[in-house]
Amino acid sequence: MDSAAAAAEHDFAIAAALHQSLNVVRGDTTDSAAPGPASWTFWAFEYHAGRGDPANLDHFQPPLLFADGTGNIPALEDLPVEALQWLAALAAETRHPRAIARLGHLLFLRRHGNAGNFARMAVEGYLGFPQGSTDIDAADALRTALDLSKRIGDANLAEEAVRRIVDTIRAVLATEDPPAGIVLGLLDTLAAQKQPPVEVDDLIQDAKTAYLSDIHNLDITISLELRRALADTAQVATLWGERVTSWIAAAERADPLVGTVHLRRAVEHARTSGDPQLLERATAKEP
């Protein structure tokens, strides 16, 4: 799914939730002097979430923040109980995965009602995003689903999230030009698990092959291999040698200015490795 399609799909989710909101309660749901259901619904989908880093994925904030710390809409923690009750009612009625994920996640963060159930609702919504997509939002959804599953101790949902991540990495790597940000970001998530899936090492190798000609992405795959090989000192030494050699080779292929920068990276890695012979080899290449 490209960015335009993802944006359209996101807009549809909002429209679906707003349409459904009209059927949640009877009577006039328009705002009067004070904010009401229409505003609360818009606000829920206006919040911007963090991206990429799992620590930021549930950091929702107003889209515009002013110098005094206020935003163009109320902060999530400032929503009144009535707004949370409305969003909970809406979450129980809507069927669109993006809407379910957003509403359940917000309600979990506010610890409204049965927070665990809202977290599960959010996870199921996030897992309903298009699978195998090259859209960064879909990748973030999988990371968020795994994080929420672990936070509420739901092993079954966590296992399903891991399985979806594995399947997505495979699907994206099978595309003509697999986006490194999605593949390597999801691989990092898998490698960080206490018990990574058995497929993770093969997936790292597949990514390494895919990004062999891009020194920056190749370096990331080697760093993932190093993380996995910590208990194998011989393998660690081999990987550090490969990492330094890759930067030296990249420097030799690049123009002089870029090559100098690459050689600095080679020296930095050699120092970090703690191998004096590797450091001597790297520094010998410096101009």
- Among the three residues 142, 163, 183, which one is the final residue of a domain in this structure? 183
**Does 163 lie in the same domain as 81?**
yes
- Among the three residues 146, 165, 183, which one is the final residue of a domain in this structure? 183
**Does 170 lie in the same domain as 261?**
no
In a domain, 159, yes or no: yes
In a domain, 111, yes or no: yes
In a domain, 194, yes or no: no
Q: Rounded to whole angstroms, how far apart are CA atoms 171 and 37?
A: 40
pLDDT of the residue at 133: 66
pLDDT tens column, 63-110: 888 888 788 899 999 999 999 999 999 999 888 898 999 999 999 999
For the residues 241-257, what does the mean pLDDT come to?
A: 95
Range of the domain at 284: 211-287
- 194 HSE (CA, 13 A, CB side): 5
In a domain, 188, yes or no: no
pTM: 0.83
pLDDT tens column, 185-224: 999 999 999 999 999 999 999 999 999 999 999 999 999 9
The residues, any chain, with a CB within 8 Å of residue 46's CB and separated by 6 or more, are: 62, 63, 73
Q: Which of 13-22, 35-44, 225-234, 266-275 has the lowest mean pLDDT?
A: 13-22
pLDDT tens column, 109-161: 999 999 999 999 999 999 998 876 677 888 999 999 999 999 999 999 999 99
Q: Enter the tokens of residue 233.
A: 């000192």
**Does 24 lie in the same domain as 130?**
yes
Domain count, the chain: 2
**Does 271 lie in the same domain as 147?**
no
pLDDT of the residue at 25: 41
pLDDT band (50, 70, 90) for residue 42 = confident
For the residues 169-178, what does the mean pLDDT come to?
A: 93
**Does 32 lie in the same domain as 147?**
yes
**Does 124 lie in the same domain as 235?**
no
The answer on pLDDT for 10 being more than 70 is no
Alpha helices in the chain (DSSP H): 3-24, 37-46, 81-93, 97-109, 115-127, 136-151, 155-173, 180-191, 200-210, 215-228, 233-253, 256-273, 276-284
What percent of the chain is predicted at pLDDT more than 90?
65
**Does 135 lie in the same domain as 88?**
yes
Q: Which of 7-21, 119-133, 234-248 has the lowest mean pLDDT?
A: 7-21
The answer on pLDDT for 172 being more than 90 is yes
pLDDT of the residue at 36: 86
**Does 11 lie in the same domain as 126?**
yes
Look at the block and give the residue holding tokens 């880093």. 53
In a domain, 191, yes or no: no
In a domain, 150, yes or no: yes
- Among the three residues 166, 183, 200, which one is the final residue of a domain in this structure? 183
**Does 225 lie in the same domain as 151?**
no
**264, 265, 268, 269 alpha-carbon torsion, rounded to 10°:** -150
Burial code (b: 16+ CB inside 10 Å, e: under 16) for 96-130 equals bbbbbbbbbbbbbbbebeeeeebbbbbbbbbbbbb
For the residues 222-237, what does the mean pLDDT come to?
A: 94
The answer on pLDDT for 28 being more than 50 is no
Task: Return the closest-CA partner of residue 210 out of 187, 179, 240.
Answer: 179
**Does 223 lie in the same domain as 163?**
no
**Does 139 lie in the same domain as 48?**
yes
To the nearest whole number, what is the mean pLDDT of the chain?
87
For the residues 56-68, what does the mean pLDDT come to?
A: 79
In a domain, 237, yes or no: yes
**Does 145 lie in the same domain as 77?**
yes
The answer on pLDDT for 226 being more than 70 is yes
In a domain, 204, yes or no: no
Q: Rounded to whole angstroms, how far apart are CA atoms 169 and 159?
A: 16
